[in-house]
Amino acid sequence: MRYGASLPASSRHSPPLPAFPEIAFRAVRQTCLRSGLALAISLTWDIFPHMDTASRHVKALADHLRLLRADRGLTLQELAANSGVSRATLSRIENGEVSPTAETLGRLASAFALPLSQLLAPLEPDFPPLVHHADQSIWSDQEKGFTRRALSPPSGQLKLEMIECEIAPNQRIVYDRPALPGHEHHLVLLAGALVLIVDGVRHDLRPGDCLRYRLRGASSFETGEQSARYIIAMA
């Protein structure tokens, strides 16, 4: 049975499929019964508009990564050797077939010697002094339950960059090496609990704690039963 298709009389009182949200299922079923398939499809699209937005973001990132590689005159094989990401994975990312994980982006940032913010979006020649919350760009790694919000405008003229991140419970994100060795970070934990390991040194953070560090080697972000929400200022 496809979602949005008309339901036979024998199944009109069947319970909704578990993989489909109950409220959405009821809305689509009622629309099918009253107005037919076309309106049901329209309603389903209205319920899930984020799917098209997510696809556009994946395509934009794919195009940007392909352009970065081309500008440096690198083949997929050469970028694979420099980053440690397989050629097949790089090809799928550049074709927009998959969205890279946070760890994959970290490896690419190191290979391109670019901060993650510049890897995710091209720099603007100028920038507005005020960036409203609704206009700040967001990137998510669904596999790791990781969300990254760019608080600062994307401009190479700025010496300080701020991002807000959130990691779901029971996750571990590992970065093999920094994009820019010696890059200074100031991390403030806003909520939850976070274990940050920098160059083999463990730091247990609680809300309000601030950790200053310079990235020279591997680092990892780990959560336990609680999620973690934090801000990082990078200079």
Q: Note the pLDDT tens digit of each residue in 132-178.
A: 999 888 999 998 899 999 998 776 666 788 999 999 999 999 999 88
For residue 204, give the 3-state DSSP assignment.
Answer: strand
Flag whether pLDDT at 232 surpasses 80. yes
DSSP string, 211-226: EEEEESS-EEEE--SS
pTM here is: 0.66
Q: Residue 5: is its pLDDT beyond 70?
A: no
Structural domains for the chain: 9-48 (no CATH), 51-120 (1.10.260.40), 133-234 (2.60.120.10)
Question: Which residue stretches of 72-172 are H helix?
Answer: 76-83, 87-94, 102-112, 116-120
The whole-angstrom distance between residue 170's C-alpha and the CA centroid of its chain comes to 17
**pLDDT reading at 29 higher than 50:** no
